[in-house]
Amino acid sequence: MSDHPTFVLKGGRVVDARGERLADVVVADGVVRAVGVDLSADRVLDASGCIVAPGLVDVHTHLREPGREEAETVETGARGAALGGYTAILAMPNTTPAIDSAAVVNQVLELGRTAPCDVYTSGAITVDRAGEQLAPMAEMAALGVRVFTDDGAGVQDNRLMRRAMEYATGLGVTLAQHCEDDALCGGGHMHEGEWSARLGIAGQPAEAEELMVMRDIALARLTGCRIHFQHLSTARSVAMVRDAVAAGLPVTAEATPHHFTLTHAECASYDPVFKVNPPLRTEADVAAVRAGLTDGTITAIATDHAPHTPESKELPFDQAPPGMLGLETALALALTELALPLPVLLGAMSWNPAKVAGVDDVHGRPVAEGEPANLCVIDPEITWTVRADAMASRSRNSPYEGRELKGRVRHTILAGEPVVIAGEPQR
């Protein structure tokens, strides 16, 4: 990283966990060299009118490699992440094969080594994410894996989940849960409610999520294990997490942009681009997720970036796979749709998820002298129109096609190297 020239991010407003101030930021040799007024360097990256913040961190990214490289690769996913302002992403383990062993962990980390964003990976809780026997978490933890999840599915068996939590507590790692009771979901393809009834599409009730949230809070109390709830989507889930946090349990939660911007009414189009798990819910649920972000019950915004090829998303609604693109729209959706103070919004997209992922020694750091230069520069006023075919992803399944959003990343700096300049990828 020392071969990158010294440069200054000029004329921006720094926003980090310490607060806000007008300042130039000089970067050299991979670190922030100076923060102050009227600083200069050989090279200038214009940050006027912009926010200079720690790079964003996504704790929920599906990279599809190994196994479904036609939908996404580590490289294309990471490029989209960099364009979206992310300097770190946490890969989900539902690849083929699943990321459930040291060998596959190493494979993904190796693929990420040249990516324009730091690629971390989660590990599966159970072998092949099948929910039957515990995966070798210790050997994965030894490679630096800090979060384990069977994402794409929840761990159904209560006793196995208890054992996983006891094991994880001993290893000092976090378990993340995709809360969904398989039996209760029973082949549902959208939220069970007035729209599923009207459209004649089999639904899955909110209770399928809520029962697992309830169980895992109980098991966190029993075991002391840190549990992170992924893509929280219902009002009662948010309420249960709020109570658990107030009770001092080691519980955190994330919400996705689609769960705070879209409702089940979108499914009236029968367009599978709106099919996702957990499903789009009611207006009251959307309001509750927003309230959870506002009051700090939900500390992280995560993309659940889930690329699928056009062929698979052109299937009928009940046959298409669930999932939506997210990396290149998450920040703009948060800026456009949420009335959160900037330090709260950026906390939810950078330093809070950095803690969840266990990467807060390098990411989500204050913008201060000597800190690693993982940064993003955001133009909060620019408006732009979402075009999936202009994204870095190999897939096109954005539910926001054609939507006008406010706020976009201008530059992204990874370990002192500008990997995005003026919205253009540099590698």
Of 330, 336, 299, nearest in space to 399 by CA: 330
Active site residue 29: no
Among candidate residues 304, 361, 379, 389, the one labeled active-site is 304
Window 57-96: contact mask with Zn ion (x via CB under 5 A):
----------------------------------------
Residue number closest to Zn ion, CB atom: 178
Q: How many CB atoms lie within 10 A of CB 172?
A: 10
Could you say which residues in the range 132-151 bind Zn ion, by CB under 5 A? 151
**Is the CB of 82 or the CB of 298 nearer to Zn ion?**
298
Task: Find the binding residues for Zn ion in span 164-203 (CB under 5 A).
Answer: 178
Q: Which is nearer to Zn ion, 116 or 399 (CB)?
A: 399
Residue number with CB closer to Zn ion (60 or 365): 60
3-state secondary structure of 146: coil
Q: How far is the CB of 151 from Zn ion (least distance, A)?
A: 4
Query: Given the complex with Zn ion, which of 112 and 154 has the nearer CB atom?
Result: 154
Q: How far is the CB of 231 from Zn ion (least distance, A)?
A: 6
Q: With respect to Zn ion, which residue has the nearer C-beta, 178 or 394?
A: 178
Q: For residue 297, what are its two tokens?
A: 């019950």
- Strand pairing class (118-121; 375-385): unpaired
Residue 189 to residues 37, 274, 284, Cα–Cα distance (Å):
54, 10, 20
Query: Around Cβ 113, how many Cβ atoms within 10 Å?
Result: 9
Number of residues that bind Zn ion (CB under 5 A): 2
What is the nearest approach in angstroms of Zn ion to the Cβ of residue 245?
A: 21
Instruction: Determine, following the binding rule CB under 5 A, whether residue 254 of this chain makes contact with Zn ion.
Output: no
DSSP 167-223: HHHHHT-EEEE----HHHHTT--EESSHHHHHHT--EE-HHHHHHHHHHHHHHHHHH
Cα–Cα distance, 174 to 148 (Å, whole number)? 6
CA dihedral 408, 410, 414, 416 (to 10 degrees): -150
Catalytic residue list: 304
Binding footprint of Zn ion on the chain (CB under 5 A): 151, 178
